[in-house]
Structures are given as C-alpha cells and as structure tokens.
Amino acid sequence: MQFDIFTLPFNIGLYFILIYAVVRCVRWFSDLSKADKLRLQRGFFGRPFSQSIREIFLESLIHRKILKTNPRLGYMHMSLAFGWFLLILFGTIEADVFGTHHLNAPYKAIFFRFFNPDHGQTPFERSYAFLMDFILAFVLSGLLLAVLKRFSSKIVGMKKTTRLKPLDKIALTSLWLIFPSRLIAESLTCGAYGTGSFLTGTLGSFFASFLPANELAYPFWWLYSISLGTFFVLLPLTRYMHIPTELFLIFARNSGITTGDQPGSYKEIQTYSCSSCGICIDACQLNFSAGITNIQSAYLMKGIRNNTNVSDIAFNCLMCGRCDQKCPVGIELSPIRMIHRRNQENPVQSGKLIDRYFPARLKPVQPKTVPEPSYAWLPEQEVEKADVLYFAGCMTHLTPAIRNSMISILDASGLNYSFMDKDGGICCGRPLMLSGQDKEARELINRNSQIIWKSGAHTIVTSCPICYKVFRESYYLDVEVLHHTEFIQKLIADGSLRLNFMRKRIAYHTPCELGRGSGIYKAPKDVLKHVAQFQETAFEDENGLCCGGSLGNMKISNAQRRAIASDVAAELTKGNPDILATSCPLCKKTLAAVTSVKVADISEIVASAIIDPAEKKKSKDSCRMPDLAVDFKM
Amino acid sequence: MEKFGFAISKGRQIDYDANSRHIAAYISEREPSFRACIECGCCSGTCTTGNFTRFSLREMHILMKRGENKEVHDNIRKCMLCGKCILVCPRGVNTRNVVTLARQAFQIYESNAV
C-alpha cells in the first residue's frame, strides 16, 4: 500500500477544487439564458470545440497574446502555466510507466519521487529524470520572474502591477512555495539515494554531503503537499479562480455567447476569468497620463468579484476601449462596465466577510425609480424629403468649420441631401447611454428615428463618431449609416468628388468611438492618403489613443482631461506633421486646445482640396497627378 | 369691493435662512468645480436643449446656489447630457457631472423624505 499521511492536504485540496469547479460550472450553465444554453451545447458538440481546444492551448497555457505584447511577462505566465501543465502531464506518464501500477491516483504522480526514491537507475529512466528536471527548471525560472515582479514590475516590462487583497497574497505565497519546496524535497530524496538529474541530482548530492538528507526530505514533502493543498482551497476565493473559469469562458465565447446589456451568467464567468494580470492598467491612459490608478478594469473585475460597490469605478472611465483590445483573456470589459453603469447599484454594504466571498448570486435587478419621460417637450420637426440625410450632431455644431466643410462637400457631390439638424437638432442619445440612462436615451432615439423615417432617406451621414456608433447599434433603422469619412471615401471612389493632392504631411488621430468603437480604421486613412501625404504614428488603429475629451467619463476634472490630451498631442505630433487630422469634432476641439500643430477634421482637409468646378472642366481627364503623389512619398 | 385689476405681488426676496441649499452642497462636495462657475451663461448659449426650450443651465446653477430647488427639480431632467457645455465653459466646470449629481441628489432626498 503506497500511501503516506503527508499527501492528505494535497488530496483534500485537489478533490475540493475539482468538485467546486464542477458545481460552479453547472450553476453557471443553468443560469445561462435558454438561447445561450443551446449555443453552448451546439458549440460543445460542434465545430467550435476544436477551435476552443486550440485556443485553450495557445492562450491558457502558452499565453500567446501576452507573449506578443510583452515577451518577458509572457514568458513568466507561460513558464508557470505551461510548465506546470507539462509537469503534471509528464509526471502522470512517469508514474504510469515507471510506477508499480498503471492508472495511479493523482497524488502518486505528484509525489512520484517520494514513493519511488530509487527511480533513475537505467539510462532511459535517467533521461526521463532529466526531462522532469528540465521542466521544473523552466517553471522555477518563471517563478523567479514572478517574485521579482512583486518587487519591481519594471523587470517584466510592466509599469504597474495589480494591488492584491490579503487572501490573494496568501494564495500567492502558497503558489510560490509549491515549486521550491518540490525542488528541495526531490533533491533531498535524490541526494539520499544518489539518483536525480542535473537539477535535483546535483542539488541533492550537495545537500547530502553535509546534511542528513533522508531525514530532512520528509518535512519538505509535507511542505510541498501543504502549499498545494492551501493553494487549491483558496483558489475559489482568489483571483486564481481564473484558471478553471477561463476554460469555460473560451468554450462559451467560441460558441457565440456575448455579454449583451444585462447582467447574467456569462458576465459572471468573465469577471471570474480575469487574472488581474494588470495589462489593462498599463494600457489605461487614466493611469499613465492622469495618474488615476484605482479604476482600471482589473479593479472593476475585482470589485465585482468581491461584491463591493463599484459605481465609482464604473463611471470613472473614458470608455475608450483600449483595455478591451489589450486584454489577453478577451474579456468584454466595456460592455461589463456599461452594465454596471445601467444598474447603478445601491451602495448597501455589509462588512461581513461571508457576504463578500459568498455574495447572493444574480441579485434581482432593482427597478430604478425614474420619473416620467423627460423629453415630452420636444417639438415636432418638419421634415424635408431627401435621399441623403446629413446629421451634424451636437459637437459638430460647436465646430462650424467641420459643418461648413461637410456642406461644401455635399454640395460638390451633387446629391439630393437634406441637413437634418440645420437649426440644431436633438442629441443622438449616446451621451445618455454612456451615463447609464438607457430609458431616457430611448426617448431621444425614437424622436430622431421618426425624423429619419419621415424623410425617406436611404443614407444618413454623420460627422460625429459618437452619433455614428449609436445610429449603427441602437437605432433600428432601415437606412445605411455612414460616417463622413466613409461617405467621402465613397464619393471619391465613384468619381463624384475630385480632389487635389496637397503637399502636406498629415498624422491621423483615430477617434475611439469610430475606431475601436465601430471598427472604422481604413476609410479615414484612405481619404487622407488620397489628398495628402500620410504620416504613421506609434499609435495606429487598435492601439490608438483617446483624446481625453470622451463623454464616457463623468468624473475626471478639466485638468486631468488636459493632461491626457497634451500627452496624446505630443505623441501624435512627434513626426512634426503639418496637420494633425482627426474625424471627430470632440477630438478636434480637445486636441486643438493643447497643441500648436494645426488640428483639422478630415472633412475640412477634403473640402479645401475640392477642385473648383471651373478648373474641373479645364483638366477633366487627370486632375490628380498620380506620379506626383508617388514622388512625394520619398 | 371693486376689482381694479391690481393684486399684491408675491414677495421676491431670497430668504437664505429659509431656503435649503442641500442640493448645492451635495454637488459641490462631489464635484468641486461646481463652485468655479461664474454664471457667464456660455453653457446656456450653446445648449442643445436650450435651443428648444427656455431651459438654462446657468439659471439652474443660480437657483441651486440660492436653494430655490423647486424649479431646478422640475427642469433638470430636460438636459440631454450631450456635453457641449463642458467644451465651452471658460471655467472648466464639469457640467455633465453637475447635472447628473443634481438628479442623483433629488432622487436621494426624495426617497429619504417618503
């Protein structure tokens, strides 16, 4: 009978966490909506299954995304996750091949060396022992980085690392203890029996030369077992819950489940999948430009998990979506934040530990006590019939240059258009949504929808990315919604807009709502490349910065906004462009206030490049000299 | 008694002792820039809502500071939070937060009163 009392802590921990994970997954599954359950079932027994397995291997074990963005940090995570996985895998094989029985209990593989101290006599056994030592060394190298990271996060190339709660720290310590205690326990046993490979063997014979190795080994085997057991038992209460949860998340996501706009099981799965790695903290501009370090998504997830009041965190965010792009787990951080903005929860907090760790799951959403509709006073507007409707939006009315440019572009295009909010229309509803007031926003949306329907337009063009996003996502319209950059791109493509080429270098600032928010990256750049020399910056497309003027944040002060804007302007004008272009009136206003470089909207640049109709006749065939454009790039 | 079409008009003095300025206090505690307002009226000048009604954020500011909360309560929900006023404010008042906090304050004090 191969059993020793010291394996008990490990066994208790292991079976506890296995049962806990299964129960938790079943409850999560049963809380999914009916449609999502069906999706998950189809996904699990269908094609997404292999995709999920692949993703689990690449992301949960290899940590490919982190490796790409930050190799050192990626190596740290990979060595711990993948190394530990290999250790378990090859340990199980080792116990099966070299042990006395086949199909052993898990503890026999984990403590294989203890039960088979004289393993490693034949050459084959020796080479296998070498492999095991090698994997252990791999894990330990990552552990070393992890320990160093706690003292100075710069070592792994991070500016900030996540602050932990006490229980996390205990779990972290037990995790750190697992591998060194294994190393010492194995080394001492190997030392006593003269086995082991380059790591355990060498260290073992060194210990055995002056220590009673055989007697000392036993306490270290205990330590190894206890640290494993502690880690497993604490796992559900700490951020390490992400290890089992992430597997579930990957299956759910690949089956096509999305967060939606209401709290639910999938949102909970996502919050538990956050490992508090801190990549979102480094990506956040509020952190590196405005010095706000307690509201990043990692802390939001932590707050939700700990059942604390997160309403301050939820509202203090630019909603720029940079963290969504950077999150290696692929958690839909902004939608989760929006859910918490919508359900502004009551700050009722009981300080009891039990409530914090075992919250009442899926709290019934309390209906907000909202007074009667607030916008009943809005006047009925007269609607002009037109093919194309131009909606400038509130912010564009503050930047008359953009509005006038768009009018001249629309005039030049020769389309039958109507200016929907010529005398100042009503708001599109997005700002209200961003502040969590969907019901009020819906009133405005209905108003605007009516106007659009009545006009009979087939296309609506807007100058403001904020309006653009809400038109596309929250208006149920049967019309084509275009941002003016897309619209101009179309006009250029079908030849109805002829433009000069300007000898100017232009850098482009991607507005958050247009770029990450709506996925429009190409159109603005195509237009710019058509009219001038485009200059790349270090922050293009998904990595674009937020200008700081975002309506998403209610909390930050004017000075903090300026600090963010100054940093952004400084970064984008590093190449000394003649013009800093953008495609959002709000970004334009925010950036123009903090830089000496000319800031202009794409529509302004295009409008200034429109060829005079009189001139157009003169040189009808080739107004744009393509050869010149090529020369200019040099 | 003959009616000549005259009446005694209501008192128009602002009684700071009688008026409760708790709404203004609630806001300035959470949004200190509220105090920076000089009531210049730029916000009202650019206001999207003000384009259709006589809603004026400047007026709201003055009334809240005086403690004449009734009218503020009736009108503050008209704001669409579009954010133009933030951009034009020469004093850097975070007006959207002021409006949101005012709504919040009314909601809190109303539910407490019941």
**Whole-number pLDDT of residue A625:** 42
What is the C-alpha separation between A348 and A594, in angstroms, rounded? 42
Amino acid identity at A355? D
* Residue contacts between A and B (CB atoms, under 8 Å): 72
ipTM of the complex: 0.88
Among residues of chain A, what percentage have pLDDT more than 90?
A: 65
Tell me which fold the domain A388-492 belongs to. Answer: Rossmann fold (3.40.50)
**Whole-number pLDDT of residue A619:** 47
Q: Residues 383 to 422 of A: which have CB under 8 A from any B CB?
A: 394-395, 397-398
pLDDT digits (tens, 9 = 90+) for A220-232: 999 999 999 999 9
pLDDT digits (tens, 9 = 90+) for A535-549: 999 999 999 999 999
Confidence of residue A18 (pLDDT cuts 50, 70, 90): very high
What is the C-alpha separation between A315 and A395, in angstroms, rounded? 21
DSSP A152: -
Asked if pLDDT for residue A370 goes beyond 60, the answer is no
How would CATH label the architecture of A258-345? Orthogonal Bundle (1.10)
Mean pLDDT of B60-89: 92
Provide Rg for chain B, Cα atoms: 16
Structure tokens of B91? 């004093």
**Whole-number pLDDT of residue A154:** 79
Confidence of residue A121 (pLDDT cuts 50, 70, 90): confident
**Helix ranges restricted to H, A465-601:** 465-474, 484-493, 522-531, 558-572, 585-592
Contacts of B82 in chain A (CB under 8 A): 394-395, 427, 431, 551
Contacts of B51 in chain A (CB under 8 A): 423-424
Instruction: Yes or no: say if A196 and A129 are a contact pair by the CB < 8 Å rule.
Output: yes
**Whole-number pLDDT of residue A357:** 54
Residue with tokens 């010492």: A184
Asked if pLDDT for residue A568 goes beyond 60, the answer is yes
Report the 10 Å Cβ neighbour count for A216.
18
- B84 to A557: CB separation less than 8 angstroms, yes or no: no
Confidence of residue A360 (pLDDT cuts 50, 70, 90): low
Contacts of A426 in chain B (CB under 8 A): 48, 52, 80
CATH class of B22-113: mainly alpha
Instruction: At A453, give phi and psi (nearest 5°).
Output: -60, -50
**Whole-number pLDDT of residue B64:** 93
- B92 to A378: CB separation less than 8 angstroms, yes or no: no
Least confident of A18-27, A355-364, A431-440, A575-584: A355-364
Using CB atoms, which residue from B51, B83, B97 is nearest to A555? B97
SS3 A564: helix
Identify which of A111-120, A144-153, A576-585, A618-627 has the greatest average pLDDT: A576-585
pLDDT digits (tens, 9 = 90+) for A385-407: 999 999 999 999 999 999 999 99
Among residues of chain A, what percentage have pLDDT more than 70?
A: 91
Quickly count helices (H) and strands (E) in chain A. 32, 8
Give the start-to-end residue ranges of the domains of chain A: 63-240, 258-345, 388-492, 500-629
Q: What's chain B's average pLDDT?
A: 89
Contacts of B83 in chain A (CB under 8 A): 394-395, 431, 551, 586
Residue of B nearest to A562 (CA): B92
Asked if pLDDT for residue B32 goes beyond 80, the answer is yes
**Whole-number pLDDT of residue A358:** 56
Please report which helix (H) or strand (E) contains residue A602, including its range: helix A602-609
Residue with tokens 């009943």: A376
pLDDT digits (tens, 9 = 90+) for A152-175: 887 777 777 777 788 888 999 999
Residue of B nearest to A557 (CA): B94
- B78 to A374: CB separation less than 8 angstroms, yes or no: yes
Q: How far is CA A70 from CA A76, A246, A288, A325, in A?
A: 10, 21, 17, 14
Q: What's chain A's average pLDDT?
A: 88
Q: How far is CA A545 from CA A133, A323, A325, A569, in A?
A: 45, 11, 12, 10
Structure tokens of A353? 């530990």
* A593 contact B CB<8A: no
Using CB atoms, which residue from B83, B93, B111 is nearest to A551? B83
What is the C-alpha separation between A253 and A273, in angstroms, rounded? 12
Asked if pLDDT for residue A449 goes beyond 80, the answer is yes
Least Cα separation, residue B17 to chain A (angstroms): 30
What is the C-alpha separation between A317 and A509, in angstroms, rounded? 20
Closest CA to A497 of A458, A531, A462: A531
pLDDT digits (tens, 9 = 90+) for A39-86: 999 988 888 899 999 999 999 999 999 998 889 999 999 999 999 999
Amino acid identity at A133? D
Mean pLDDT of A251-256: 92
Confidence of residue A618 (pLDDT cuts 50, 70, 90): low
CATH number (2.50.20, 1.10.287, 1.10.3470, 3.40.50) of A500-629 reads 3.40.50
- Enter the pTM of the model: 0.88
pLDDT digits (tens, 9 = 90+) for A165-222: 888 889 999 999 999 999 999 999 998 888 888 999 899 999 998 888 888 899 999 9
CB neighbour list of residue A476: distance below 8 Å, 6 or more residues apart: A449
Mean pLDDT of A243-265: 91
Mean pLDDT of A259-280: 90
- The two beta strands, A480-483 and A459-462, are parallel
**Whole-number pLDDT of residue B113:** 64
Exposed e or buried b for every residue in A312-346, given b needs 16+ CB within 10 A?
ebbbbbbbbbbbbbbbbbbbbbbebbbbbbbbbee
Instruction: Yes or no: say if A266 and A252 are a contact pair by the CB < 8 Å rule.
Output: yes
Q: Could you tell me which residues of chain B have a Cβ less than 8 Å from any Cβ in chain A?
A: 33, 46, 48, 51-53, 77-78, 80-84, 87-88, 92-94, 96-97, 100, 107, 111
Least Cα separation, residue B93 to chain A (angstroms): 7
**Helix ranges restricted to H, B5-94:** 22-30, 42-46, 57-66, 69-75, 84-88
Residue with tokens 């095991």: A132
- More confidently predicted of A370 and A442: A442
* A148 contact B CB<8A: no
Asked if pLDDT for residue A365 goes beyond 60, the answer is no
Instruction: Yes or no: say if A535 and A572 are a contact pair by the CB < 8 Å rule.
Output: no
Confidence of residue A629 (pLDDT cuts 50, 70, 90): very low
- A431 to B83: CB separation less than 8 angstroms, yes or no: yes
Contacts of A431 in chain B (CB under 8 A): 80-83, 96
Asked if pLDDT for residue A410 goes beyond 90, the answer is yes
Least Cα separation, residue B96 to chain A (angstroms): 7
What is the per-residue DSSP string for A201-266? HHHHHHHHHHS-HHHHHHHHHHHHHHHHHHHHHHGGGSGGGHHHHHHHHHHHHHTT---TTS--HH
Asked if pLDDT for residue A345 goes beyond 60, the answer is no
SS3 A487: helix
Residue of A nearest to B36 (CA): A558
Q: Sign of dihedral through CA atoms B84, B87, B91, B93?
A: positive
Confidence of residue B1 (pLDDT cuts 50, 70, 90): low
Two domains, one topology: A388-492 and A500-629: yes
Least confident of A255-269, A374-388, A409-423, B54-68: A374-388
Using CB atoms, which residue from A369, A426, A555 is nearest to B48? A426
Q: Residues 526 to 565 of A: which have CB under 8 A from any B CB?
A: 549, 551, 554-559
Contacts of A423 in chain B (CB under 8 A): 51
Asked if pLDDT for residue A621 goes beyond 50, the answer is no
pLDDT digits (tens, 9 = 90+) for A472-518: 999 998 999 999 999 999 999 999 888 999 999 999 999 999 999 99
**Whole-number pLDDT of residue A174:** 94
**Whole-number pLDDT of residue B112:** 73
What is the C-alpha separation between B41 and A615, in angstroms, rounded? 46
